[in-house]
Amino acid sequence: MEPVQDATVYIVDDDSGVRDALAWLLRTRRLPSEVFDSAEAFDARVSAGFAVSAPSCVLLDVRMTGMSGLAMFEKLISYGLLPTLPVIFLTGHADVPTAVAAVKQGAFDFCEKPFSDNALVDRIEQALAQSAAALALLGESSSYQARLASLTERETAVMQLVLKGLPNKLVADQLDISVRTVEVHRARVFDKMRVKSAVELANLMRDTAK
């Protein structure tokens, strides 16, 4: 798998040896990283206006001095950062059940120490690909909302009746406007929403509502 462009891997582990080894491993695979020696340090970064603007993921140790990895994961959920910021837990054998439970809550995966470098990097790249896909979907949703907000009140009214399958004549009758005016508004709706037909418009509305 090709490295995801402009990606960042956040390493959160209170063991300096693990942090250094992971950062070195990622450098050899052309994956930039940032390291944090505690969940508190990472939380300070995240809670200070952090936004996921490029593919990213977190390597999060389950058991650390102070705040645990699981507590940090729950904070990431509360901040609304999943799934744009996938979490891979790093765990010792005793913590596997905890890590499995976290995966069921939405964590991307867990890797048991000592882990295989190749297997870990493979999962990191897959997590970054998921982050990229989630960001793309979020961008599409934002674009859709912006397009929807650009419609005038009359265009919105026309769009709603068009989505109900009404022909232009019935739309005109319901809104007490001319058929020509309906045609103009309909064309503007299609243009602003970047569709070419009522079917495309209906599909767009359905897909973005999922």
Could you give the 3-state DSSP secondary structure of residue 136?
helix
pLDDT at 51: 85
Q: How far apart are CA 92 and CA 89, in angstroms?
A: 10
Sort 17 into a burial class: Cβ within 10 Å, 0-12 / 13-18 / 19+: exposed
Residues 75 and 135 in one domain: yes
Residues 12 and 75 in one domain: yes
Q: What is the DSSP secondary-structure string of 31-43?
A: --EEEESSHHHHH
Residues 86 and 23 in one domain: yes
Residues 95 and 190 in one domain: no
Residues 17 and 116 in one domain: yes
User: Which is higher by pLDDT, 129 or 139?
Assistant: 129
Q: Kindly provide the b/e burial profile for residues 162-179, where b requires at least 16 CB atoms within 10 angstroms of the residue's own CB.
A: beeebebeebbeeeebee
Domain encompassing residue 162: 150-208
Give tens-digit pLDDT for 162-175.
999 999 999 999 99
Number of structural domains in the chain = 2
Give tens-digit pLDDT for 136-158.
888 888 788 888 888 889 999 99
Residues 168 and 115 in one domain: no
Residues 166 and 202 in one domain: yes
